[in-house]
Amino acid sequence: MINYYFYGILLFNLLPIYPLDGGRILNLLVELFTPYKLSIKISILISYFSLLIIFLINSSNNIILMIMFLLVLIIKEEKKINYIYHKFILERYLNNYQFKKTKIISNKDNFYRNKKHIIRNKNRYYYEKEYLSKILKKY
């Protein structure tokens, strides 16, 4: 009998809603194909859509309360996108990550989590560290 509760909690936690573990897993999968910042935005959009589907399937009082709670969490995460991304950029600058793949990008918002970058800016190319030090000196 108690196993049903554990499986229920497991399935709830694996819902593709960003603050939950399922949303984090979804975000990691989306990051394989899109830049980091865009992957967060897509994950949040899928989270909103998932809540809508849950509401349409079952709109009992308990489900509505759960949806409202999760909606508040998603909105908080959405407001923190820029903070999360700037933290990601700062970590990239401070740490010496060794990635095998390289990507040429033209905008600092197009960084991927699992690649090193060469940034093209007005017909000039910068290595990632050089570009980030230039950007971060402004702050």
Residue with tokens 């998603």: 74
State whether 74 and 94 are in the same domain: no
State whether 90 and 67 are in the same domain: no
Threshold 0.75, pTM exceeds: yes
State whether 48 and 31 are in the same domain: yes
Report how far residue 97's alpha carbon sits from residue 8's, in angstroms, rounded to the nearest whole number. 39
Q: What is the pLDDT along the chain (139 residues), one digit of tens a residue?
A: 778 888 988 988 999 998 899 999 999 999 999 999 999 999 999 999 999 999 999 888 888 999 999 999 999 999 999 999 999 999 999 998 888 999 999 988 899 998 999 999 888 999 999 888 888 886 6
State whether 93 and 74 are in the same domain: no
Q: How far is CA 35 from the centre of its chain?
A: 9
User: What's the number of domains the chain is made of?
Assistant: 2
**Helices (H) and strands (E) in the chain — how many of each?**
6, 3
State whether 99 and 127 are in the same domain: yes
State whether 42 and 74 are in the same domain: yes
State whether 71 and 108 are in the same domain: no
Longest pairwise C-alpha distance within the chain: 66
State whether 99 and 64 are in the same domain: no
| End position of a domain, from candidates 38, 58, 79 | 79
Domain that holds residue 113: 84-139
CA–CA–CA angle 25, 16, 70 (5° rounding): 120
Report how far residue 110's alpha carbon sits from residue 129's, in angstroms, rounded to the nearest whole number. 15
Which phi and psi angles does 88 have, rounded to 5°? -60, -45
State whether 71 and 102 are in the same domain: no
